[in-house]
Structure 1
């Protein structure tokens, strides 16, 4: 159930909090005169709106996000969201199964590229051998 409209400041603050919880405290992309409105939009609507909704848990949102990023070929974002998926409780095996499943629906080349990114990230986060490295 939608809790109703929140103030713009509340949506931004909630989005910034959710983003930090999901992606960690790593450096956020810096906003400037050209990208400031875009970063504000993403913080309010993607993080403060969609990721903050109660309908799916963060593990499920990570599964969907990994699939969507694979389908779109967004490998830079896939690396960050693979880290987030681990933080959200997915195991390396669940990430592998997710990417294997994407091969059927998104294509083998897309899944192959995603596996390369995921293998690197999981190795960095979990140590060598964690992703079959």
Structure 2
């Protein structure tokens, strides 16, 4: 029985902190700032180049067909474009793997890592007016 309890504690710890194979879980929305710091450490540890699509965005290569921009099929991407595409997908998956089911459903409308990261920040940190208001309340 004690071994099962220890295993449960270890699994909870792994969910909160993350492992080299999986990102930390955002288990409690009130713990967003701590999760964000742990997630940033996780990305830096696993592959710091994943920050590029998260912070700068990703633009899928396109071609013009009948005067319209159409995304290139993945099979038509060159090696460098595939690497950049893979970085975007890995960054996106790393963020979404951190979510509970409820959060995953709430943010299912975002299809790239940059927009998803910004939406998380907006929801849990607020805009600049909200941040200023929180700082003012803390000062009082």
TM-score normalized by the length of structure 1: 0.28
TM-score normalized by the length of structure 2: 0.27
The answer to which structure has the higher strand fraction is: 2
